[in-house]
Structure 1
Amino acid sequence: MVFTQRAKNIMISLWFIFVPIGTFLVYINSPTKPTEWENYGYYLLLALLSSVFPFVIAGSTIILVLWVNAAIFMKYGLLAELISMQLSMFPVIYHMKITRETLFKYFFNSFMFFLLSVICGSLILGLGFEVGSIAIMDVILYGSLYAISYILLNHVILYIRELICGFKPFFLTKDFYWETACLLMTLPFGLSLYLFETATGPIALLLMGIPLITITVIVRLYSDSEKVNNDLNKASEFGHELAERLTSAEILDMFVERVSKMFPIDTAYIVDNVIDKFIILRAVEDGVKKELESSHEEIKYSFVGNVYQKGEPILYNKQTEWLHMKPSFLSMEMQSVMAVPIYRNQKIEGVLVLATKSKFAFEPYQLNIVHLLCSYFAVSLEKARYVREAVAQSEICELTKLYNYRYLDRQIATEMEKVVAGAYHSLSLIMLDIDKFKAVNDTYGHHSGNLILKEFAQLIKKEIGGEGTVGRYGGEEFVVILPNYTKLQAINLAEQLRMKIEQTPFIVEQGLADVAREEIIFITASIGVSTAPEDSDEGNSLIRNADRALYIGAKQAGRNRVAEYVK
């Protein structure tokens, strides 16, 4: 939920307009004053302890302080409860990790609880409750009304705030249900505390308060462990998803994206070390991918270089802890920072840096979760490298080092899709076949034939350069894929290739003679040309058309010539 600056200013202004003067008016009109509040300090201490240990249930943060404040209201009145609630906010503010940017939350919550204290307290007093009454039915009735009205009005105020700010709020949220459930469990303690303390004195606060505070602490610990387990489960699922990605780019993008969603961060950076030089491999700031550069020396002598050298993760809770070792790419707006080394094959390859504008934004256990995620990340990158190498080997002709037919078939289909989509205006394909290659093998041996295939492949690759894709389709057949080449352009290029082949001497070894010796021979090639979309709109047809032009238009017409496909 993101509030506009105008909304934040209004929330702060409400506090200044109502809370100071309102508190003074309550003090002036209160029938009881602090000098009459015997044992109030014990109640206040219990309220503060109750607010120190908030816990999370199903994503809802619960603070069990209302049970104590209900007892304070019934014993000392509205002013005492108002003071108690305002003071109880400070431990809550600490857990909320309020910063300068989120300071409006304190002012709004203080204003809201001021309204709750005044309205609910005035309502109960208006209905006839007498402060200090020990009539059991009055205590049960008015105490329950006070607590229930407090929770209902709390959510009404939140609902109105979100409605005014342009959100789409829901009144009966899960927070409302959990707060109501916790109230039903703790309110009897508050009512009993009030009656018991009135009869026995401060000892009642120990006998009633310690068990409930202990239960709160236990629930808090359980809540924290559940949170850790939940994050570990997410990390495990994340690891499986990373393992399913086959390319390094996919893994990098997914890793940064998911880490950004798992933790409250504003920026994320992956710093890599390539041949003892630091580079920023990935950078995401406020959800936007950025291209950043930073000198090797600046990174080396920052906390990033320190983490890389020591191989240990580090957590900074505020800017003053890392400012003296600030990397140049990290904004001065950042406060909390995590820096975690990325290991691969027991060697540090880089460092992950996560940062946020809030102080104390990260929990220590989250550092271990990120460390685990970095391990998944490194393993996935290693797997992607093996897959990439295996795929490359399966798509490369071992003899000529050109692409083989597997790659060519897929590439032609991909390029044809671009023609159909309008990305290319045309796509031409050149198919070459070495003339009388069987005779070369029979005369000079297959070893010499392989030498010719290797030299022939490099000749074509050099002549084509970056204009197209060159591959060996099989045997002595080679293919050139030419995006955005018209048929005329492809025919002219094919003719240049034909002439270059014809004029190029090839060195072979006379392996079938009694004495091995090198010879220079000349070869020729027949070439067929087909173009999409005029000849075909389908990849396999484009290949067949070029093959037909090669054999009918070039081979059968006398070899050493270029022929175009004619429908």
Structure 2
Amino acid sequence: MDISKRTQGLIWVIWALFVPIGIYLLYQFYAPDQEINWPVLLGYSVLAILTTYFPFKIAGTTIFLIQWINLAIFLKYGVFVEVLVMQLSIIPLVMKLKIGFSDFYRAIFNSFMFFMVSVISGVLVLLMGYQVGSIELKDIIFFGFIYQVINIFTNHVILYSYLRLTKQENEGFFGRDTIWDYAGIIVTFPFGITLYLLNEYVGTIAFFLLGVPFLLVTFLVRLYSNSERINEDLNQATEIGHELADRLTGDEIIELFLTKLSKMLPVDYSYIVDIKEGDMVFLKAMENDVDIEIDHSHEELLKSIAGIVYKTDKSILFNKQSEWLQLSAGFLPNNAESIISVPISRNQKMEGILVIASRKKYAFETYQLQIVSLLCSYFAVSLEKARFVQETVSKSERCALTKLYNYRYLEQQLEINMNDLLNGELRQLSLLMLDIDHFKAINDTYGHQSGNDILFSLARLLEVELEDCGILARYGGEEFVVILPNYSKEQSFKLAEELRTKIESTSFEIRTELEDKPQLIQVKITTSIGISTAPEDCDEAMALIRNADRALYIGAKREGRNRVAEYVK
């Protein structure tokens, strides 16, 4: 998370109070007694700088194997020189982490932490009786080991306290990073002792005999670690692709895609821009894991980073804000730094654009641009599959003529609603069955196509009148059914009467197909409606339909049509 300006200022103040004055006091009390061999000290310093500049990652943890070098420096020259070399190693660390002026407080904090770690571990070991420059093996091993343990422990106390005070995420005092640091003691401690003793007996050649091979091994481990990270990200991308393929709706796929992406990469802001008939529109926008609404026109988006991808059909990566500030920021927040934008393509056709951003500089690696492109391919394929599935399901659930739900869907939904009623999730469940009066006469007089026109037009009228009321379906022939969750019989009767009146007063336009010269005419129809309500009338889904059907034909049709009738036991 971002550190407040007040906290950053406090870090600078603490550093100014402790580090410069502390270095001066160390010189007064712990300056080296022996004459410094400058070529040897230069060799130690070069090793420290190179080791700091070339860290590597293991299991997601960044490892700086500098402990063995500062151990050898301390054994040789004491705490004052070791502090100076550790402060010098801050420079390559700043370069490696690409720390800019706005977040230079991080370098200052590292300088303070390195200083305190060196002082506390060095002074304690000296107070325990270690003689700087000793070549007694038992003293070197004993005090050297104590020095490294105190060094690592102090480092973690300071770092843990800093993360807690600034309310940043941490893994606890004994997290994964702590385990790797203590494991580093086991690896580096023998090297530190050996480097010190070898330098004492053979001189500067020790740096070539031990330091150079160690750096080469570190470099090889770094290369292997990077390849492992790439392979791990590729495997993770493949797993995400499989998960996307298992989702059957577009909303599920979009939600899963952005969620997984934010867990895989340090993403603070994510946006998906859809391309419809050549125009860009926002499909989804998330900032800090919260959905937001953004309304930008195609022309506005053309001037943004998404517009660059749209025009060039190429992925782009920006490491910091200064690289893209001259461009139109568009929809991106002011504190965005690193950005990846990738076209979402299917069959070599751009269907959308992904934009992800982080508040951190250099948050994304170059290879991750290809990983995101791969994920976008999985995403596009999964969306296409979901659309196909939805179209297939929709066709199987819809009446081809009226475009309303069919009997198959009606039956399934009615079972679900009845179960909800029995489980107490619904208070009541009503059903209307509506039938067009004398529909056969319309077909005989004007033709079946005219009858179909009336069915289609009536379906549109019912959709408008019943919007948000319940589920409308075509039952078959000229019959329609409406499922009304949480509607009482009285409410259902009122709604049915309003429908009947509306239909009776509406003129329907048809073409007279049976005449020599077909023409458009206006006709009027009436309807009869039957009502049944659960749990008063029944407690089974199919019984609710039968009861409404009985009410329709006995209570409405037999009584003269164009009326509403309730089921009576």
Q: Shorter-chain TM-score: what band?
A: 0.7 to 0.9
1:475 to 2:474 alignment = no
Taking structure 1 as reference, are residues 430 and 231 closer, same or farther at Cα in structure 2, changes over 3 Å only? same
The whole-number CA distance in structure 2 between the counterparts of 1:47 and 1:449 is: 91
CA offsets, 1:210-260, max 9 Å, x none? 111111111111111111122112211211221122222222222222212
State the match for 1:304 in structure 2. Answer: 306
Taking structure 1 as reference, are residues 311 and 168 closer, same or farther at Cα in structure 2, changes over 3 Å only? closer
2:177 aligned partner, one-letter code:
D
State the match for 1:456 in structure 2. Answer: 455
Shift of 1:5: 6.5
Indicate the SS of the match to 2:402.
coil
2:19 aligned partner, one-letter code:
V
State the match for 2:383 in structure 1. Answer: 381
State the match for 2:54 in structure 1. Answer: 53
- Unpaired segments of 5 or more residues in structure 1? none
Indicate the SS of the match to 2:38.
coil
The whole-number CA distance in structure 2 between the counterparts of 1:50 and 1:7 is: 30
Indicate the SS of the match to 2:143.
helix
CA offsets, 1:364-403, max 9 Å, x none? 0111111111111111111111111111111121233332
The whole-number CA distance in structure 2 between the counterparts of 1:109 and 1:207 is: 31
Indicate the SS of the match to 1:325.
coil
- Mean Cα displacement is larger for which, 548-557 or 461-470? 461-470
State the match for 2:120 in structure 1. Answer: 119
State the match for 2:500 in structure 1. Answer: 495
Taking structure 1 as reference, are residues 45 and 396 closer, same or farther at Cα in structure 2, changes over 3 Å only? same
The whole-number CA distance in structure 2 between the counterparts of 1:34 and 1:252 is: 67
State the match for 2:148 in structure 1. Answer: 147
The whole-number CA distance in structure 1 between the counterparts of 2:142 and 2:496 is: 97
CA contact (8 A) 1:78 1:118 kept: yes
The whole-number CA distance in structure 2 between the counterparts of 1:324 and 1:315 is: 15
Indicate the SS of the match to 1:188.
helix
Shift of 1:62: 1.4
The whole-number CA distance in structure 2 between the counterparts of 1:457 and 1:87 is: 82
- Unpaired segments of 5 or more residues in structure 2? none
State the match for 2:326 in structure 1. Answer: 324
Shift of 1:51: 1.2
**1:82-97 to 2 correspondence within 5 Å?**
82-97=83-98
State the match for 1:72 in structure 2. Answer: 73
State the match for 2:182 in structure 1. Answer: 180
CA contact (8 A) 1:304 1:327 kept: no
Indicate the SS of the match to 2:343.
strand
Indicate the SS of the match to 2:326.
helix
Taking structure 1 as reference, are residues 83 and 505 closer, same or farther at Cα in structure 2, changes over 3 Å only? closer
CA contact (8 A) 2:496 2:564 kept: yes
Indicate the SS of the match to 2:89.
helix
- Mean Cα displacement is larger for which, 139-148 or 94-103? 94-103
CA contact (8 A) 1:399 1:450 kept: no
The whole-number CA distance in structure 1 between the counterparts of 2:509 and 2:310 is: 55
CA contact (8 A) 2:552 2:564 kept: yes
- Mean Cα displacement is larger for which, 9-18 or 46-55? 9-18
Shift of 1:181: 2.2
CA contact (8 A) 2:493 2:531 kept: no
Taking structure 1 as reference, are residues 226 and 34 closer, same or farther at Cα in structure 2, changes over 3 Å only? farther
**1:35-434 to 2 correspondence within 5 Å?**
36-39=36-39, 40-99=41-100, 102-161=103-162, 170-412=172-414, 428-434=430-436
Shift of 1:49: 1.0
CA offsets, 1:461-507, max 9 Å, x none? 32552424543112332223456761332241243266358x86976
CA contact (8 A) 1:15 1:108 kept: yes
CA contact (8 A) 1:506 1:522 kept: no
Indicate the SS of the match to 2:232.
helix
How big is the alpha-carbon RMSD for the aligned residues of Structure 1 and Structure 2? 3.5
- Mean Cα displacement is larger for which, 233-242 or 120-129? 120-129
Shift of 1:333: 1.6
Taking structure 1 as reference, are residues 323 and 414 closer, same or farther at Cα in structure 2, changes over 3 Å only? farther
Taking structure 1 as reference, are residues 537 and 110 closer, same or farther at Cα in structure 2, changes over 3 Å only? farther
Taking structure 1 as reference, are residues 218 and 466 closer, same or farther at Cα in structure 2, changes over 3 Å only? farther
Percent of paired sites with the same residue: 47
1:210 aligned partner, one-letter code:
V
Taking structure 1 as reference, are residues 331 and 186 closer, same or farther at Cα in structure 2, changes over 3 Å only? same
Indicate the SS of the match to 1:324.
coil
CA contact (8 A) 1:429 1:531 kept: yes
Shift of 1:440: 7.8
CA offsets, 1:158-196, max 9 Å, x none? 344456667887443332332222222222122111111
Taking structure 1 as reference, are residues 507 and 64 closer, same or farther at Cα in structure 2, changes over 3 Å only? closer
The whole-number CA distance in structure 2 between the counterparts of 1:464 and 1:173 is: 59
Taking structure 1 as reference, are residues 319 and 34 closer, same or farther at Cα in structure 2, changes over 3 Å only? farther
The whole-number CA distance in structure 2 between the counterparts of 1:344 and 1:285 is: 26
State the match for 1:552 in structure 2. Answer: 554
Shift of 1:30: 2.9
CA offsets, 1:15-73, max 9 Å, x none? 22211110111122233289734321111001111111212222322111110111111
1:16 aligned partner, one-letter code:
A
Taking structure 1 as reference, are residues 392 and 31 closer, same or farther at Cα in structure 2, changes over 3 Å only? closer
2:144 aligned partner, one-letter code:
G
Taking structure 1 as reference, are residues 44 and 407 closer, same or farther at Cα in structure 2, changes over 3 Å only? same
The whole-number CA distance in structure 1 between the counterparts of 2:280 and 2:518 is: 53
Taking structure 1 as reference, are residues 288 and 221 closer, same or farther at Cα in structure 2, changes over 3 Å only? same
Shift of 1:424: 8.6
Taking structure 1 as reference, are residues 340 and 488 closer, same or farther at Cα in structure 2, changes over 3 Å only? same
Shift of 1:417: 7.8
Count of residues in Structure 1 that have an aligned counterpart in Structure 2? 560
Taking structure 1 as reference, are residues 189 and 307 closer, same or farther at Cα in structure 2, changes over 3 Å only? same
CA offsets, 1:268-299, max 9 Å, x none? 11122222222222111122211012232232
The whole-number CA distance in structure 2 between the counterparts of 1:517 and 1:289 is: 55
CA contact (8 A) 1:37 1:76 kept: no
The whole-number CA distance in structure 1 between the counterparts of 2:3 and 2:419 is: 46
TM-score, reference length from structure 2: 0.87
1:465 to 2:456 alignment = no
- Mean Cα displacement is larger for which, 162-171 or 136-145? 162-171
The whole-number CA distance in structure 1 between the counterparts of 2:370 and 2:409 is: 43
1:18 to 2:18 alignment = yes
- Mean Cα displacement is larger for which, 290-299 or 406-415? 406-415
CA contact (8 A) 2:500 2:527 kept: no
CA contact (8 A) 1:99 1:358 kept: no
- Mean Cα displacement is larger for which, 526-535 or 262-271? 526-535
The whole-number CA distance in structure 2 between the counterparts of 1:557 and 1:481 is: 24
The whole-number CA distance in structure 2 between the counterparts of 1:542 and 1:99 is: 71
1:316 aligned partner, one-letter code:
F
The whole-number CA distance in structure 1 between the counterparts of 2:247 and 2:526 is: 46
The whole-number CA distance in structure 2 between the counterparts of 1:283 and 1:256 is: 9
Indicate the SS of the match to 2:296.
coil
CA offsets, 1:124-171, max 9 Å, x none? 222322222223332222222222221223233334445666788744
Indicate the SS of the match to 1:399.
coil
The whole-number CA distance in structure 2 between the counterparts of 1:164 and 1:494 is: 66
The whole-number CA distance in structure 1 between the counterparts of 2:508 and 2:362 is: 72
- Mean Cα displacement is larger for which, 335-344 or 318-327? 318-327
The whole-number CA distance in structure 2 between the counterparts of 1:529 and 1:500 is: 21
Taking structure 1 as reference, are residues 560 and 249 closer, same or farther at Cα in structure 2, changes over 3 Å only? same
